[in-house]
Each structure stands twice: as C-alpha cells, then as structure tokens.
Amino acid sequence: MLIISNHIRIPDVEIELSAVRAQGAGGQNVNKVSSAIHLRFDVLASSLPEEIKQRLLALRDQRISTDGTVVIKAQRFRTQEKNREDALARLQSLIASVLKTPKKRVATKPTKGSRERRLQKKSRRGQVKSLRGRVTDH
C-alpha cells in the first residue's frame, strides 16, 4: 500500500513493478543482474479520486504516456530493493504534486503610480541611449 496523503492510498495491486537490466557503465554486475525497476501505474484504472486523475493526466510530464500510464524507470542504486523504493517514492511525489488545488488567478491592473514610474524609467533609458551616438566636432 502506497500512502500519498491521509485520505489517498494506492493498493499494491494497482502498481506493476518489474526488474530489468540497468543501462550504462557498471562492469560485470550490470550485465548479469536485473537491478533496475520499471514501475507502471495506470491512472485511469486506479482508485484515485476522479479530480486527481484529471489533474495528473493534465500534467505535461514525459513519464505519463498518452494512454494514461505512468512509467518510471529507477536505476540510480545498485540494489533492486533501493531502486524499488526510489521508484515508489517518485510515483508518490508525482501524485502528491497534484493534490493541491491550483489557485484561481485574479486579474489585476497596474496602479497609476506604477504606470507613471514605468514610463519615466523608459524615457530616462531612451535619453541615456540617445547620448551614446557618434560624437561630431562642430
């Protein structure tokens, strides 16, 4: 059971973990031992609340495929157990990132004083730039 928050828990049967060979350098051990972990989590078929599913699928994250499956490959550590823990922690943080409801943006206008200060700064800057021209002898 993966605990995301006080109210949200994911049963182990919804998370598919498989051991694969890690990529990259590592000598003889990396070629023989399947120490990397592939984690697959189907968002649409999960027991997550519908609102959180939608927010998770709306994320622009390369780990979430177009069919709604989260795929995480953990190969940071040398042991399979540490990679399993790492993959589960990364899934947990991914889901936890969408738990907060995003704040609605309230449209505001700049104050009159800030508009005047901006225009004064622009004109001052323009004067400085105009003085940078070529110097002529008259």
CA distances from 123 to 6, 110, 133 (A): 56, 19, 16
**pTM given for the model:** 0.69
In the chain, what are the domains? 2-96 (3.30.160.20)
pLDDT digits (tens, 9 = 90+) for 27-80: 666 667 778 899 999 988 888 888 888 988 888 888 888 888 999 999 888 888
Give kind and range of the element (H or E) at residue 19. strand 15-20
Q: What is the mean pLDDT of residues 89-102?
A: 88
Q: What's the distance, Cα to Cα, between the start and end of the chain in Å?
A: 85
The CA-based dihedral angle spanning residues 110, 115, 117, 118, taken in that order and rounded to the nearest 10 degrees = 100
